[in-house]
Amino acid sequence: MKLVVAVHFDGAQANAAAAAFDAWDAAEATQTYISRITHVEKAVRGELDLRELPCVMQLLREHSLEPELILVDGFVHLDADETPGLGQHLYHALGGKVPIVGVSKKRLPGLSAQFEVMREEETQPLFVTCAGIDIGAAKARLRAMHGRKRVPTLMKLAARLAKNTD
């Protein structure tokens, strides 16, 4: 099982959601999971925002999830020099056993064209960084994901689940 995870913050609380899937081209999740986090620390100004990390870890623990790979909305590395981002911290928190693929709609200054992925019917690229998996393989798998728009269907689903939970 692979997971797409998303976290939505609502003041000092957050919702973490995941959409599980087996095939890269799956149009629907095999299962979805949601965890409510009742207290989230404020982001520290000027530092990397890692508030999502404990939220994702709680989601994995609460639902006893042991995915073979996790996709996150964000960056594993912040530049070509592999400055750690959220995904790298998640990779280490999971003991380096679960590959992490970070997918972002925004380009960071330190990322070159090698991190770009073009999907069908779109002109704007997505930006992919990863840990525990080859960048070429991560990009190919992202391209294979269901959805004819820029952001894959299951990534949209996870974001919607995180945002719409009461």
Q: What is the CATH number of the domain that holds 44?
A: 3.30.2170.10
- At residue 148, what is the residue type? R
CA distance 144 to 105: 17
Q: Are 80 and 62 in contact (CB under 8 A)?
A: no
Q: 61-101 pLDDT, tens per residue?
A: 999 999 999 999 999 999 888 899 999 999 999 999 999 99
Task: For residue 53, name the pLDDT band (cuts at 50, 70, 90).
Answer: very high
Q: 112-134 pLDDT, tens per residue?
A: 888 999 886 667 899 999 999 99
* Structural domains in the chain (count): 1
Q: What is the pLDDT of residue 81?
A: 87
Q: 9-51 pLDDT, tens per residue?
A: 998 999 999 999 999 999 999 999 999 999 998 888 888 889 9
Residue numbers of the domain that contains 20? 2-164
CA distance 142 to 28: 15
Distance (Å) of CA 2 to CA 9, 41, 133: 23, 28, 13
According to DSSP, the residues that pair with 4 across neighbouring strands are 19, 71
75 three-class SS: coil
